[in-house]
Amino acid sequence: MEQTVTIDSLYEGCKAGSRQAQQKLYQAVASKMLGVCMRYARSTFEAEDMLQTGFMKVFGSIESYRGEGPFEGWIRRIIVNTAVETYRRNMRSGHPVEIDDVHDDVQHTFSMDMLECEDLLRIIQALPDGYRIVFNMYALEGYSHKEIAAALHISEGASKSQLSRARAWLKERIIKLEGGRYESR
């Protein structure tokens, strides 16, 4: 609860244009938001770029926050929208990653019996762009297929299909990674 109060008080400083408040807000939530970006991006560099662009939008549109819901949730929404915009821009510029172009670059050594977060993140990052974006928006961010379709300019059916294919793709990689341990599930 204390962090919420701190973030809310930082909002007031950011709204007033305080660089110190902006820096403190960034330090308070950047690592969490970078985690969000990492799920959408193909690389750490792309995730960091999304994060910086997202925070520029946060600080540039701070006046539009209406206090409906947590301030951190508003920031997260901007970060997710920035990731989606990056995906759409890449699609328009002819830089999408096709399924055949994706290489399984996940490390195959584990020190634990279960997948570690870093390993799962690498698998999610290796998803083809369309699959990764839809999977993140639906499974991790809680968007509906209707919302995803509107954001990505695709049909609801395409969103459902991309999610289904993403799940199958992930399952295949996890099975391969874990040597078939999850096959019976």
Residues 77 and 159 in one domain: no
- What's CA 183's distance to the chain center, in Å? 27
Q: Note if the pTM is more than 0.85.
A: no
Q: Output the six-digit token pair for 127.
A: 């998803």
Per DSSP, which regions of 43-100 are E strands?
A: none
Residues 78 and 144 in one domain: no
65: nearest Cα among 137, 11, 134: 11
Range of the domain at 149: 99-185
Return per-residue pLDDT of the chain as tens, 185 residues.
445 547 878 898 999 989 999 999 999 999 999 999 998 988 889 999 999 999 999 999 999 998 888 899 999 999 999 999 988 887 776 654 433 333 333 333 333 345 577 778 888 889 998 999 999 999 888 899 999 999 999 999 999 999 999 999 998 888 887 775 544 44
Counting Cβ atoms within 10 Å, is residue 50 exposed (0-12), middle (13-18) or buried (19+)? buried
Question: How far is Cα 6 from Cα 116, in angstroms, rounded to an integer?
Answer: 31
DSSP label at 136?
I
Quote the pLDDT of residue 69: 87
Q: What is the CATH number of the domain that holds 115?
A: 1.10.10.10
Residues 110 and 183 in one domain: yes
Quote the pLDDT of residue 90: 77
Residues 124 and 180 in one domain: yes
Residues 119 and 90 in one domain: no
Quote the pLDDT of residue 94: 61
Q: Which of 96, 118, 133 delimits the end of a domain? A: 96
Q: What is the CATH number of the domain that holds 27?
A: 1.10.1740.10
Quote the pLDDT of residue 98: 37
Angle at Cα 51 formed by Cα 53 and Cα 172, nearest 5°?
A: 125
Question: How far is Cα 6 from Cα 35, in angstroms, rounded to an integer?
Answer: 21
Quote the pLDDT of residue 97: 41
Residues 90 and 114 in one domain: no
Residues 2 and 92 in one domain: yes
User: What total of structural domains would you count in the chain?
Assistant: 2
Question: How far is Cα 4 from Cα 110, in angstroms, rounded to an integer?
Answer: 36
Residues 35 and 108 in one domain: no
Question: How far is Cα 141 from Cα 124, in angstroms, rounded to an integer?
Answer: 14
Q: Which of 37, 62, 96 delimits the end of a domain? A: 96
Residues 42 and 109 in one domain: no
Residues 27 and 61 in one domain: yes
Quote the pLDDT of residue 9: 81
Residues 184 and 148 in one domain: yes
Quote the pLDDT of residue 91: 76
User: Which SS3 state, helix, strand or coil, does residue 170 take?
Assistant: helix
Q: What is the CA radius of gyration of the chain?
A: 18
Residues 144 and 86 in one domain: no
Q: Output the six-digit token pair for 32.
A: 């969490």
Question: How far is Cα 56 from Cα 23, in angstroms, rounded to an integer?
Answer: 12
Q: Which of 42, 76, 96 delimits the end of a domain? A: 96
- In contact, 170 and 123? CB cutoff 8 Å: yes
